[in-house]
Structure 1
Amino acid sequence: MQRRTVLLLGAALAVSPAVKAHAHPDHPDHPATPGETPLVTEGPYGEGWRKLAPIASGPRQEHSVAAVGDKVYLIGGIVPEASGGVTTTGRVEVYDTRRDTWSVAAPLPVAMNHPNVAVVHGRIYVLGGLSGGSAWQALRDSFVYSPRVGRWRRLPPVPAGVERGSAAMGVHGTKILLAGGMRVLVPGAGGLQDTVDTVSAYDVVTGRWKSLPSLPQARDHVGGAVVGGTFYVLGGRDRGQVHVRDTVYALDPRARRWSERAPMPTARGGIAAAAVGRRIYTFGGEGRHDGDNPNTVFDETEAYDTVRDRWQRLAPMPVPRHGTAAVAVRGTIHIPGGGVLAGGAPVEVNDAYRPVHR
């Protein structure tokens, strides 16, 4: 597969001024200078990719997304500060997939980045995330949002000891599944990243939490989806960007046992993932590439066939990004925002991918 290189014409808003990054493993360094927005040259669209209206309020990264009907909800994350650097937000914006327009919804009562988000029966659940200043700590705060009513309602907090952000998410019946994640993230080169192997289930009807068998290995910044009743956890990393993984774990909730499936073609963390039919699509990411560069931002689009246990490489992202999220609406996968340099470099890019298999 031929890669498209994104040329970053400006410097990025970075979590740490010392961080440097590559937009592609073969591209030269681009120093990250706080206070300037990265200008992005897009690769070609087509082969399933389509450019959409950019995020109305501007750049966003380390957020989550949810789909209710024909609308995509962009929830929390980090945004640029006027004085440089980034800050956590509770902002919620809504993208209308039919009209290609944005609107504003009620903000999260508590600002979060890396929020754990899922939709059950048309309601959006947020089950903790990360927030803080120099160190992002796990939050126990949980909420549910009804689009019909237009407001958030507080839920009982995540049980003490299992709170985290950046978990793989899935829905099985009335249960929301969370696998892995992190309890602490200290932004900047070499900062602590406290990855966990915890797996939990929250029943939206009873309001009860239940522990499930732990992941075979700890993961955060990982893809997750439920297909055919099986919960898949794809890629991710373990305690930092240099420790990216290509593993695919599968959990049968009834058997309560993890198995390992065909690995991803490209090991990467900070990916976005969404399921359409029997396939799970993974996009972008961040981390070490072939052991030579810990600051790669990936353009890879790779699809996992859950029936054949087989991967396929597809047309790459026109704008490589990490720290973004993906959700499917009527067979089209929407991917708003993300970062284009290692660390914090939010952009307002909004695009969609309609699966095309060669």
Structure 2
Amino acid sequence: MKHKLLLILAFTAFQAFGQSDSWQILETTNEASPRHENSFVECDGKFYALGGRADRPVEEFDPKTKTWKKLADVPMNFHHFQAISYDHEIYVIGAFTGGYPHEKPIPNFLIFNPKKNEWREGPEIPKDRLRGSVGVFVRNDKIYLASGIIDGHWDGHVTWFDEYDPKTGKWTVLPDAPRARDHFSATLVGDKAYLVGGRRSSAVIGKVLDLTVPEVDYFDFDTNTWHTIDSTIPTERAGTSNVANGPYLVVMNGESVAQEAAHAEVEMLDTRTGTWSSLPKLNQGRHGTGVVYYKGKIYVAAGSANRGGGPELNNIEVLEWK
């Protein structure tokens, strides 16, 4: 009876939104640069691909004209980060620089202003909270950093949770998450911050991809406490990207030891019930990139087609999801 009820709830969640039957590969007027371990983020109605293993310029995508535009070169190599849009600018926080497996955390924020087409160096991250491959999100004009790893893909994954106030420059250490993870995305759903997917990268013991994290943790800002939901992510993977709409959290992209190809599964969590359902699979599995939810559509661009470092992608897929 309980199993039947969960199926009904999952079906109800699946039907809650109008959506396309499949992802569509968007035909653009020109091509973007291939990249992976980058971010893809919306700012003031346009989408930005930035960062990645190779030094690529910032590229701006206009969803109205379906056109890419090359912008400023990057000030340094940076990758493995979750970019955020804040106050009409794009913030790169908790990123790595350098090569595998001992990538180094970047000690400062990097801030890009799309209107000025300029980069500037932002505030310094406290040395005792410095790490890369961090989950980052914005809530009430404050920036939050969750988990990550200190020494590239080698070792040093952490449970840290921090708050930064851009208006005052104050850095606050918050309660640690229940478990460490890296190569994931953090997402705000209502007034709860969800950490889903990821792994504990451990090249030091020869397990870079192996230690995926099945549990879903969330921080409740009302009670200032962490919790773990009863259900686990259906497809364990790292290098994931998340978007939210209402009580629903979509987890997509990723890599794992289960298969050489990057994951194409798109899975949706109803945060009210803890039940999972599936959305249409991507045409092209990918990992190491971001996703944008804009005007009732999910957009994903770039990433790696296989686990590890390639081949790099430069196309965009879109799914209507309202």
Q: One fold, TM greater than 0.5?
A: yes
Q: In 2, are the aligned partners of 1:300 and 1:317 still within 8 Å (CA)? A: yes
Among candidates 65, 86, 101, match of residue 67 of structure 2 = 101
Residue aligning to 1:181: 148
1:74 aligns with 2:49: yes
Cα distance in 2 between the residues matched to 1:198 and 1:56:
39
Residue aligning to 2:173: 211
* Residue identity in the other structure for 1:207: G
CA change 1:298–1:116 in 2 (3 A) is closer
Give 5+ residue unaligned stretches, structure 2.
1-19, 202-207
Shift of 1:90: 5.4
* Residue identity in the other structure for 1:246: P
Task: Encode CA deviations 1:324-343: one digit per residue, 9 max, x unaligned.
Answer: 21121112121111111221
Cα distance in 2 between the residues matched to 1:219 and 1:67:
25
CA change 1:57–1:299 in 2 (3 A) is closer
Among candidates 234, 254, 265, match of residue 285 of structure 1 = 254
1:113 aligns with 2:88: no
Cα distance in 2 between the residues matched to 1:184 and 1:50:
38
* Residue identity in the other structure for 1:150: N
Among candidates 237, 242, 251, match of residue 273 of structure 1 = 242
Residue aligning to 2:214: 246
Shift of 1:95: 0.8
Shift of 1:48: 4.2
Task: Encode CA deviations 1:292-327: one digit per residue, 9 max, x unaligned.
Answer: x5x452111001122232211111111011112112
Q: In 2, are the aligned partners of 1:90 and 1:109 still within 8 Å (CA)? A: no
Among candidates 127, 130, 142, match of residue 163 of structure 1 = 130
* Residue identity in the other structure for 2:292: V
Residue aligning to 1:58: 33
Cα distance in 1 between the residues matched to 2:214 and 2:261:
15
* Residue identity in the other structure for 2:217: Y
Residue aligning to 1:344: 309
Q: In 2, are the aligned partners of 1:89 and 1:113 still within 8 Å (CA)? A: no
Partner of 1:352: helix, strand, or coil?
A: strand
Cα distance in 2 between the residues matched to 1:217 and 1:69:
34
Residue aligning to 2:158: 196
Shift of 1:117: 1.6
Residue aligning to 1:256: 224
Cα distance in 2 between the residues matched to 1:264 and 1:133:
30
Q: In 2, are the aligned partners of 1:137 and 1:184 still within 8 Å (CA)? A: yes
**Equivalence map 1:28-39=2 (5 Å):** none
Residue aligning to 1:297: 262
Identity %: 29
Cα distance in 1 between the residues matched to 2:276 and 2:255:
19
Residue aligning to 2:7: none
Q: In 1, are the aligned partners of 2:262 and 2:287 still within 8 Å (CA)? A: yes
Task: Give me the CA root mean square deviation.
Answer: 1.9
Cα distance in 2 between the residues matched to 1:161 and 1:90:
30
Cα distance in 2 between the residues matched to 1:353 and 1:164:
33
Cα distance in 1 between the residues matched to 2:197 and 2:81:
18
Give 5+ residue unaligned stretches, structure 1.
1-45, 79-87, 187-191
Moved more, 100-109 or 211-220: 100-109
Structure with bigger helix share is 2
